């Protein structure tokens, strides 16, 4: 029985992933890898759109891959690889770029936000074509579903449009993928600023729970998380964003329902609740961190594993690329 295909990826944009990446993405990827034939990449080519120190980018790429594995993505079950190891991504991107309208790419809100923030001179063309490369990632693997956060939905819609456009113009080369948007309840906010999404590139580190932080540091951050003056452990996103965020984290990591956690802490203060959550976070992250650090202790072995997975990815990607090259009329090298 062939399983439907799934594709997702993350940029190696920090030394450690944060708990939002873990709850919002990795835990779901881990569960989905059973029912789907999954491809998970560390999208290092995408990361080049930001300024990077070369040695650091290499380190972050390994660290991101190690955290995927430590969180339960199994390289024997899923294809976990580094985007730049598979040449077809950059190659298909070029063909898709010739099918993408200038205005169409200019309407991408991520591009509009970033280019506005950086200004015209600091905005590189890679930021503009970022979604086209993402479309190439997805379409090379005849992907059925793409689990992403809602900020990436527009990019997956563009991917669908490009797939349909290509198929209509040249004959069917691509499966048209469906985005699967992560649940709102899986969205984690900054512990110090609980109305802002927790993010790897947050300006301050105080509200970010890093997967690879020392457990004592994570515990301290939980204890210092912003709450409110009401004193009751109750989910109310609007009026109690801090406490609600902590409840969501608690529920996601334990698999419990929020009302049962509210009941457990009824009539007890925030101190008790935070202590309980700190234990949960440390208990969950401890083994993940240890496994990631073990993998990073043997970079040669990790690199071999990534190479073997890239070879699996290559096979699928090359078949799609060859079909595309044929269909658009590029002369075959005999």
Stretch that binds ligand ATP, among 17-25, 63-71, 102-110, 310-318 (CB under 6 A): 17-25
Query: Whole-number minimum distance, CB 111 to ligand LTN, in Å?
Result: 12
Annotation marks residue 183 as catalytic: no
- Asked if residue 10 binds ligand ATP (CB under 6 A), the reply is yes
Catalytic residue among 77, 112, 114, 274: 114
Annotation marks residue 200 as catalytic: yes
> What distance in Å separates the CA atoms of residue 170 and residue 319, rounded to the nearest whole number?
16
Annotation marks residue 275 as catalytic: no
Contact partner at residue 138 from ligand LTN, ligand ATP, none, CB < 5 to 8 Å by partner kind: ligand LTN
Stretch that binds ligand LTN, among 9-17, 70-78, 265-273, 323-331 (CB under 6 A): 9-17
Residue 209 near residue 198 (C-beta atoms within 8 A): yes
Residue 93 near residue 131 (C-beta atoms within 8 A): no
Closest residue to ligand ATP, based on beta-carbon distance: 24
Dump the DSSP string for 237-285. Answer: TTT-HHHHHHHHHHHHHHT--HHHHHHHTTTS-HHHHHHHHHHHHHHHH
SS3 of 147-216: the string is EECHHHHHHHHHHHHHHHHHHHHHCCCCCCCEEEECCHHHCCECCCCCCCECCCCCCCCCCCCECCCCHH
Q: Which 159-198 residues touch ligand ATP, going by CB under 6 A?
A: 182, 186-188, 197-198
Q: Which 38-57 residues touch ligand LTN, going by CB under 6 A?
A: 43, 46
Q: Which residues are catalytic?
A: 114, 197, 200
Which residues form the interface with ligand LTN (CB under 6 A)?
7-11, 43, 46, 134, 137-138, 146, 148, 152
């Amino acid at each position: 029985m062939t399983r439907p295909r799934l594709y997702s990826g993350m940029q190696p944009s920090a030394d450690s992933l944060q708990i939002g990446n873990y709850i919002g993405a990795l835990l779901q990827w881990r569960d989905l890898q059973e029912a789907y034939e999954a491809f998970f990449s560390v999208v290092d080519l995408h990361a080049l759109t930001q300024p990077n120190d070369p040695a650091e980018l290499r380190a972050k790429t390994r660290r991101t891959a190690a955290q995927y594995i430590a969180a339960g993505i199994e390289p024997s079950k899923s294809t976990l690889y580094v985007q730049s190891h598979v040449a077809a991504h950059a190659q298909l991107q070029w063909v898709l770029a010739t099918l993408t309208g200038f205005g169409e790419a200019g309407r991408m809100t991520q591009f509009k936000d970033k280019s506005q923030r950086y200004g015209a001179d600091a905005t590189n063309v890679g930021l503009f074509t970022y979604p086209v490369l993402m479309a190439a990632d997805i379409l090379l693997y005849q992907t059925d579903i793409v689990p992403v956060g809602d900020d990436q939905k527009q990019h997956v819609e563009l991917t669908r449009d490009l797939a349909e456009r290509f198929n209509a113009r040249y004959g069917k080369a691509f499966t048209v993928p469906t985005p699967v948007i992560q649940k709102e309840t899986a969205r984690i906010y900054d512990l110090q600023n609980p109305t802002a999404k927790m993010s790897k590139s947050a300006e301050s580190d105080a509200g970010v729970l890093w997967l690879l932080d020392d457990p004592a540091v994570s515990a301290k951050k939980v204890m210092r998380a912003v709450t409110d003056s009401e004193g009751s452990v109750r989910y109310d996103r609007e009026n109690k964003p801090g406490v609600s965020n902590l409840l969501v984290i608690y529920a996601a990591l334990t698999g419990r329902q929020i009302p049962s956690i509210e009941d457990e802490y009824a009539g007890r203060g925030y101190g008790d609740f935070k202590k309980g959550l700190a234990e949960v976070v440390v208990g969950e992250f401890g083994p993940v961190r240890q496994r990631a650090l073990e993998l990073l202790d043997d970079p040669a072995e990790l690199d071999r594993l990534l190479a073997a997975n890239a070879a699996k990815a290559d096979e699928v990607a090359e078949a799609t690329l060859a079909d595309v090259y044929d269909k658009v009329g590029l002369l075959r090298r005999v």
